[in-house]
Amino acid sequence: MTTAIAHPNIALIKYWGKAPETGNVPASPSLSITLDGLSTTTTVMSAQADQLRINGELSDDVKVLRWLASLREHFSIPPIHIDTANNFPTGAGLASSASGFAALIVAINAHCQLGLATESCSGWARQGSGSAARSLFGGFATLKPPNWQASPLLDAKDWPLSIIIAITDTGRKAVSSSAGMERSRNTSPFYPAWIEQTKTMFHAALDAVQAHDFSALATLAERSTLNMHAVMLSSQPTLLYWNGTSIALMQRISALRDSGVPVFFTIDAGPQIKAVCLPEAADIVAKSLGEVAGVRQLVRTGLGAGARVVDA
Ligand code: DP6
Ligand 1 atom with minimal separation from the 126 CA: 5
Cβ–ligand 1 contact at 131 (below 6 Å): yes
Ligand 1: residue whose CA is nearest its atom 7: 129
Ligand 1 atom with minimal separation from the 269 CA: 1
Give the CATH architecture of domain 160-302.
2-Layer Sandwich (3.30)
Cβ–ligand 1 contact at 24 (below 6 Å): yes
Q: How far apart are CA 224 and CA 13, in angstroms?
A: 6
Ligand 1 atom with minimal separation from the 132 CA: 2
Q: Which amino acid is at 148?
A: W
Residue 53: count of CB within 10 angstroms of its CB: 14
Q: How far apart are CA 85 and CA 265, in angstroms?
A: 27
2-157: which CATH number, 3.50.50.60, 3.30.230.10, 3.40.50.300, 3.30.540.10? 3.30.230.10
Is there a common fold for 2-157 and 160-302? no
Cβ–ligand 1 contact at 178 (below 6 Å): yes
Range 260-268 average pLDDT: 97
Helices in 29-176 by DSSP H: which ranges?
62-72, 96-111, 118-128
Range 165-173 average pLDDT: 87
Kindly tell me if the per-residue pLDDT of 93 is higher than 70: no
Query: What tens digit of pLDDT does each residue of 56-71 get?
Result: 999 999 999 999 999 9
Cβ–ligand 1 contact at 288 (below 6 Å): no
What mean pLDDT is reported for the chain? 95
Q: How far apart are CA 94 and CA 22, in angstroms?
A: 26
Q: Please list the residues that pair with 23 across neighbouring strands.
A: none
Range 119-144 average pLDDT: 98
Cβ–ligand 1 contact at 242 (below 6 Å): no
Cβ–ligand 1 contact at 33 (below 6 Å): no
Query: What tens digit of pLDDT does each residue of 100-128 get?
Result: 999 999 999 999 999 999 999 999 999 99
- Ligand 1 centre and the CA of 126: distance in Å? 10
Cβ–ligand 1 contact at 14 (below 6 Å): yes
The preferred substitution site among 12, 24, 63, 131 for testing ligand 1, maximizing ligand atoms within 8 Å of CB, is 131
Domain boundaries, the chain: 2-157, 160-302
Burial of 157 (0-12, 13-18, 19+ CB in 10 A): exposed
Question: How many Cα atoms within 13 Å fall on the side-chain side of residue 7?
Answer: 22
Q: How far apart are CA 122 and CA 141, in angstroms?
A: 11
Residues with Cβ within 8 Å of 26's Cβ and at least 6 positions away in sequence, in order, are 15, 17, 18, 19, 126, 130, 143, 148
Helices in the chain by DSSP H: which ranges?
62-72, 96-111, 118-128, 177-187, 191-210, 214-233, 244-258, 282-290
Q: What pTM did the predictor assign?
A: 0.96
pLDDT at position 73 is: 97
